[in-house]
Structure 1
């Protein structure tokens, strides 16, 4: 871009275009920061995302690093797993408790034909991602183009996936929207084909709705089977 073209953008009808000037200054400040004081992934010098860290340090290996998407005070920087592959860098946030214990979650809802949120059951909980507050998540989404997360549904050892479907809901980060899916009831191994798998995997991709915060399973019918969930990290790229 030539100086004349830049001047034409900055001045509209002989008046300064202040929003554009501020945007250019912010961009220049960011570039200078990376040159003068590049982030190293520490608590004192966190990167905006794992991608920025990778661009500054292409020799870094995958691991846990501090990031600060809102680039304010590093006091609210959060620890993320940076997955550096050959051509990309993924910023992954792990839930504090990733394993929903395997048990008969619906044993008390045989006659209750409604969704049962596991967080409201004994030993249940919502999924918490340390440091991922509303502000940090908003800025992380602004600097990403994709988010993915996997959740694994597992039957108790000795049980297999049966052939009866049951609806399941996964509460998103908005707390107002949910993904709707179906899972197979867990049955004793002798009642189904022993070659049937013990688990199934749900995979979600949505930049604006992830991470998942809770799971609800539809009650009613034969609900004595023991099952659990493993909540995978949500990865932004």
Structure 2
């Protein structure tokens, strides 16, 4: 939007690291709000029994992308983009941004996404990890 204020909202190829154009990523630019939207390569995750604790009393955190059978890390970018190129571009996009948001719809039986309704606390809330290894915890 800053470079082309007269352009309309839509899909564009951008190159935040300003290197070669072969590693550009396709994004949706909302020119009215100034948002740059990066789509995941996989829009939905199959509904299945992803994890069953072997020890019911064990209350440890389990990473979806590492500890669960068939779990994976969320990836972003368009078809044909190399994950390492997308990660570099997202790093530069993050450095040029003042804020970011992400929508995740989470359905998990017998699990807490944000606040535990029975205890009214966030101890069991979902824990996310960014591509920069920073953990994102529930606050409130």
With normalisation by structure 1, the TM-score equals 0.43
Aligned length: 120
Query: Does structure 1 residue 121 correspond to structure 2 residue 68?
Result: yes
Distance between the aligned counterparts of 2:54 and 2:126, measured in 1? 15
Q: Which residue does 1:69 correspond to in 2?
A: 16
Alpha-carbon displacement from aligned partner over 1:80-133 (angstroms, at most 9, x marks no partner): 111222xx3211111212323323333244433211111231231101123422
Distance between the aligned counterparts of 1:103 and 1:163, measured in 2? 24
Contact 1:102-1:155 at 8 Å conserved across structures: no
Q: List runs of 5+ in structure 2 lacking aligned partners.
A: 78-84, 110-115
Distance between the aligned counterparts of 1:178 and 1:168, measured in 2? 11
Q: Secondary structure at the match of 2:102?
A: strand
Q: Which residue does 1:78 correspond to in 2?
A: 25
Distance between the aligned counterparts of 2:26 and 2:128, measured in 1? 25
Query: Does structure 1 residue 181 correspond to structure 2 residue 134?
Result: no
State the structure with more CA Rg: 1
Which structure has more RCO (C-alpha within 8 Å, separation ≥ 6)? 1
Q: Which residue does 1:171 correspond to in 2?
A: 129
Could you tell me how far 1:163 is from its partner in structure 2? 4.0
Query: Which structure shows the bigger proportion of residues in strand conformation?
Result: 1
Equivalent positions of 1:126-145 (< 5 A) are 126-130=73-77, 131-134=85-88, 136-145=89-98
Contact 2:11-2:26 at 8 Å conserved across structures: yes
Contact 2:12-2:29 at 8 Å conserved across structures: yes
Contact 1:54-1:84 at 8 Å conserved across structures: no
Cα distance change on mapping 1:179 and 1:141 into 2, 3 Å: closer
Query: Which structure shows the bigger proportion of residues in helix conformation?
Result: 1
Q: Which residue does 2:48 correspond to in 1?
A: 103
Cα distance change on mapping 1:140 and 1:117 into 2, 3 Å: same
Q: Secondary structure at the match of 1:138?
A: helix
Task: Provide the aligned C-alpha RMSD in A.
Answer: 2.6
Distance between the aligned counterparts of 2:69 and 2:24, measured in 1? 33
